[in-house]
Amino acid sequence: MKYYVADVGNQQDPNDMSFGGGAGTPHKSQVTVDFVDRYQRKQNSFTTLKEVAKEVKGIPGAQIDVTKPAEGPPTGAAVEVQIKGEDFEVLDAISTDMQKKIRNVEGLVKLKDNYEKGKPEITVRIDREKAALFGLNTQEIANLIRTAINGTEASQYRVGKDEYDITVRFDKNYRNNFSDILDLTVFYEGEHYPLANFASVEFSSGLTRVNHVDRDRVVTITGDAFGRSSAEVLRDVKSALEGYKMPAGYSFAFAGQDEQEQESMAFLETAFMIALFLIFFVLVSQFNSVILPLVIMASVILSFFGVFFGLLVTFYPFGIIMTGIGIISLAGVVVNNAIVLIDYIQKLRERGLEKSEAIIEAGKTRLRPVILTAITTILGLVPLTIGLNIDFIGMLKLDFHNVIEWGAESSQWWANMGVAVIFGLMFATALTLVIVPTMYHILTGFSEWASEKFNRIKGTAAVEIETSH
């Protein structure tokens, strides 16, 4: 630890990066720990979080959450279920039942909902007709009760430059019992009228707040992921709630990170299609052909096999954002090798080589640059993917303690993209040297056969027309 701060009776929202603290919460406290720099620590901070959570787990009467401060833009909870309906009691019952079904999902922590039952309160019901018979209105009666219980500022007392409020209210002995309220009398035009003559006292419990989404009453269940990816935890939660029967007029939907990921996926799909279109457009304009761009674009499809295989063998989940960015970047990288190969085949054929000889010669000549290009790109992404970090500053200070770090914390964010690009490029490079020449031979052969047949038909028609003349 470098520093720690303990706030008792106050809790700052971990997603709120502003200063000044939040509202007072007497039943909540918070301890904020600032770690020393990574090269001075023996282990990853995520491992430390798990150990701290294990140490403070199971303290009776306390709910303890161990979290990492939020970074970047605010995001929703890993699991967020919105239950919509009219009656909050029914919504609360549904929320309780759902939480029982998903509570044992592995990696799901801090499961709770935002339904807050109101604290017990005393309601004074005033009979307006009876009060009117005495010439009283509800404002006067309310002011009386407010003065008796909470007090009213009557004046100020000044000592030098300091001012003190003078508050008038009943003595503590006369505001300890709810029956004391009915003993109040309202003074009006020289008469004291007992409050009990035109008011009654009831015990009730009101809602602390009413949450709405799209003008529908909502109770939201939230939970975070710990030890597993958010996608895996959410998948298991959806499986547990699949087929859940809701009462008539009530429904539930997933929101939070799931909703944001759906929006991100829609955006990335559009971006990917635009990228493919732009690449295809450039290739068509340069090769003046449709067949050759189709052959080159096949390498993009081949890279997908590498992406999924890489995620499978490394046990990384398919992250919508980072893996999606990796796939989009692959679309612009893997076509380079195919372009180099196809372009050289075309040049060899222009020099007079037969198609099969041109393909073999181009494969032999371009093998080295294609492989070297892929290897250099892959090696450049390896440190980012595995979290390899070298402390050059420490080396300059002759401090060789933890100079080389494995599993840097930044790799937790970039690893998905690195794995997608590395394995996608590996597969695309290996298959490009085999599949792309084969597709070139087949498709160009079909194109040449179709063109030759068309020209033959065209020539035959011309001869027939000339003979008829």
Residue 291, token pair as written in the block:
């067949």
Q: What are phi and psi of 168, to 5 degrees?
A: -105, 125
User: Does the domain at residues 120-205 carry the CATH identifier 3.30.2090.10?
Assistant: yes
- Euclidean distance between CA atoms 274 and 296, whole angstroms: 17
Provide the pLDDT for residue 16.
45
- DSSP letters along 340-377, please? HHHHHHHHHHHTT--HHHHHHHHHHHHHHHHHHHHHHH
Q: What are phi and psi of 282, to 5 degrees?
A: -65, -40
Q: Which architecture does CATH list for 261-464?
A: Up-down Bundle (1.20)
Provide the pLDDT for residue 17.
39
334 burial via Cβ count (<10 Å: 0-12, 13-18, 19+): buried
Q: Quick one: which of 194, 177, 181, 122 has its CA closest to 148?
A: 181
Give the single-character DSSP code of 400: -
Question: Residue for token digits 């970090």?
Answer: 389
Provide the pLDDT for residue 409.
61
Q: How far is CA 23 from the centre of its chain?
A: 26
pLDDT averages per 10-residue partition of the chain, 469 residues: 85 46 65 81 78 84 78 68 87 89 84 77 84 84 86 87 88 78 81 84 73 83 78 84 88 80 82 88 85 84 84 77 82 83 86 85 86 87 78 66 64 76 86 82 72 63 54
- Euclidean distance between CA atoms 240 and 257, whole angstroms: 18
Provide the pLDDT for residue 335.
84
- Euclidean distance between CA atoms 464 and 469, whole angstroms: 9
Provide the pLDDT for residue 296.
84
Domain boundaries, the chain: 1-69, 120-205, 261-464
Provide the pLDDT for residue 398.
65
How many Cα neighbours within 13 Å face the side chain of 270?
Answer: 5
Give the ranges where 58-178 is alpha helix by DSSP (H). 88-102, 128-133, 138-149
Provide the pLDDT for residue 456.
65
Residue 400 Cα distances to 45, 395, 427, angstroms: 21, 6, 38
Provide the pLDDT for residue 190.
79
Provide the pLDDT for residue 19.
39
* Paired sense of beta strands 162-168 and 152-159, if any: antiparallel
